[in-house]
Amino acid sequence: MAEFNVNKHEVGSVNVLDLKGYLDAHTAPELEREFNKLIDDRKYKVVVNFKDLNYISSAGLGVFMAYVETMRENKGDIKFSNLKQDVYNIFDLLGFPMLYEFYEDESEAIKNFNEQNKD
């Protein structure tokens, strides 16, 4: 069975999800649970760090599509950071860069949230 886990930490008002392993149709429900918890806690500013994620299929990508609108409706967003090139290529094939922000590093994504707060 594929290994996958999500670790969560907070930096100020931003919630960072660190993904590790393989995100496929089997493991995507685990990520959904994390997003449901964030929404229950009214935490809508999310950075997803892909540093340790080796693999993603459309089931994983679908999770972000399912939750991004709720986050944006509540003055938050889902921003992505630290993607390996081949993982980014899949997001690119499905048109994500038109609609989501991607950052080289987690700290840049967090900084962007904080700058938006000043407006």
> What is the token pair recorded at 15?
């919630």
| Smallest separation (angstroms) from another protein to the CB of 98 | 7
Q: What is the closest distance, in whole angstroms, from the C-beta atom of residue 45 to another protein in the complex? A: 20
Q: Indicate the residue among 13 and 93 with the shorter CB distance to another protein.
A: 93
| Helical axes 58-73 vs 28-40, angle rounded to 10° | 10
Question: Using an 8 Å Cβ cutoff, are 9 and 32 in contact?
Answer: no
Cα 20 from Cα 6, distance rounded (Å): 6
Q: Which residues bind another protein (CB under 8 A)?
A: 1-2, 22, 24-26, 55, 57-59, 61-62, 65-66, 69, 86, 90, 93-95, 98-99
User: Closer CB to another protein, residue 39 or residue 59?
Assistant: 59
